[in-house]
């Protein structure tokens, strides 16, 4: 039972353009959502998060949007840079345990020069 | 400042053997969580420990166990290894028990032959 889904295994974007990564969830008890970035041979690194009481959170080039009625969130990166090439994981947590993050399968983002 | 450190980085075992993985959290962090990442999937929650007590357990068999020491470091033990236990094992630390913003180590790559 995949409670958090990232349906695009990979995404290729030209440098300078916008990258949009998508994530869907099924559990309505999730109330906090995070995006992590992972480079090869490194652990995931926290990128940005959003609480279920908000519908948008922005941090520099990164913006996360949350649509609770659709159980969908997205990460926008603009402008995309070559260093953004990595695997991006969407994660969610609920009231039962904040550190029991449920991760999606990941999306490999490649930024082309 | 040192991040989350895990040892060993790589490990090869045979079926039926036992393995111990080690994790040192970021200084000042009292919570440690363990995740298993199988190739092509997102990390999956195994355990959380806070102040030496188990605070959460994922859907893993009793062959998996863990503990946290007075200095907040942690060990993950897996008995009677199966081929399906081959994965990247990630340790994450955070300041408190309910802080979703986890800091991950680079992981231990376990191969079971």
Across the interface, do A45 and B98 touch by the CB < 8 Å criterion? Answer: no
CB contacts, 8 Å: B58 with chain A: 100
For residues B98 and B25, give the distance between their C-alpha atoms in angstroms, rounded to a whole number.
16
CB contacts, 8 Å: A35 with chain B: none
- Residue B65 Rama label (left phi>0; alpha psi -120 to 50; beta): beta
Distance from CA of A104 to the nearest CA of B (A): 5
What tens digit of pLDDT does each residue of A28-79 get?
989 899 999 999 889 999 999 999 999 999 999 999 999 999 999 999 999 9
Q: Pick from B16, B17, B25: which is nearest to B103 by CA? A: B25
Pick B104 or A98 by higher pLDDT: B104
CB contacts, 8 Å: A4 with chain B: 42
Half-sphere exposure of B78 (CA within 13 A, CB side): 28
What tens digit of pLDDT does each residue of A1-26 get?
689 999 999 999 999 999 999 999 99
Out of B33, B40, B107, the one facing A99 most closely (by C-beta) is B33
pLDDT averaged over every residue in chain B: 94
**B1 pLDDT more than 70:** no
């Amino acid at each position: 039972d995949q409670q958090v889904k990232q349906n695009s295994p990979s995404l290729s974007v030209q440098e300078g353009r916008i990258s949009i990564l998508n994530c869907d969830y099924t559990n309505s008890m999730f109330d906090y959502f995070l995006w992590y970035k992972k480079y090869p041979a490194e652990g995931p690194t926290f990128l940005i998060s959003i609480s279920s009481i908000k519908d948008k959170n922005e941090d520099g080039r990164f913006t996360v949007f949350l649509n609770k009625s659709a159980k969908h969130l997205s990460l926008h990166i603009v402008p995309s840079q070559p260093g953004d090439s990595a695997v991006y994981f969407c994660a969610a947590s609920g009231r039962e345990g904040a550190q029991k993050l449920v991760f999606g399968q990941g999306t490999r983002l490649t930024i082309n020069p | 400042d040192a991040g989350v450190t895990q040892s060993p980085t790589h490990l090869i075992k045979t079926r039926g053997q036992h393995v111990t993985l080690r994790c040192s959290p970021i200084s000042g962090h009292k919570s440690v969580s363990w995740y298993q990442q199988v190739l092509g999937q997102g990390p999956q929650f195994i355990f959380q420990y806070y102040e030496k007590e188990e605070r959460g357990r994922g859907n893993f068999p009793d062959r998996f166990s863990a503990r946290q020491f007075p200095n907040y470091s942690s060990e993950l033990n897996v008995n009677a290894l199966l081929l399906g236990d081959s994965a990247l094992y990630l340790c994450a630390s955070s300041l408190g028990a309910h802080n979703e913003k986890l800091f991950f180590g680079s992981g231990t790559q376990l191969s079971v032959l």
